[in-house]
Amino acid sequence: MLEIDKQDLDSIWRCLAAILHLGNLEFEEKGADAKDNALCNIIEKGMSTVAKISELLSVSPFKLKDALLNKTIKVKNNFLICVVVFYILSSFSLR
């Protein structure tokens, strides 16, 4: 039998719960970019789910929402920072 201490077991359950809550998030179109790709946002009632997930993972809800909707690329010691906005289809598949 595996001997996992209480703190590690608690971390495992918190990660599992966060993963399951991610499946409950829903996205909505927020408009379109110049190429008519649908930009997205998390629906308002999903913000309570974002709050639960952020609490489970001990991260800021604002940073979690930003990570779910955007991808930040840092190149060469932060000389270039590029933010890529996810479209609605990619947000569904990346959660």
- Judge whether 28 and 41 are in contact, CB under 8 Å: yes
Chain mean pLDDT for the chain = 77
- Six token digits for residue 65: 């929402």
Q: What pLDDT score was predicted for residue 30?
A: 73
Question: Considering only the top CATH level, what class is 6-94?
Answer: mainly alpha
Alpha carbons within 13 angstroms on the beta-carbon side of residue 59 total 15
Q: What pLDDT score was predicted for residue 20?
A: 93
pLDDT tens digits for range 24-45: 888 877 766 545 455 678 888 8
pLDDT band at 89 (very low <50, low <70, confident <90, very high): low
pLDDT tens digits for range 43-69: 888 788 999 999 999 999 988 888 887
Beta bridge partners of 32: 38
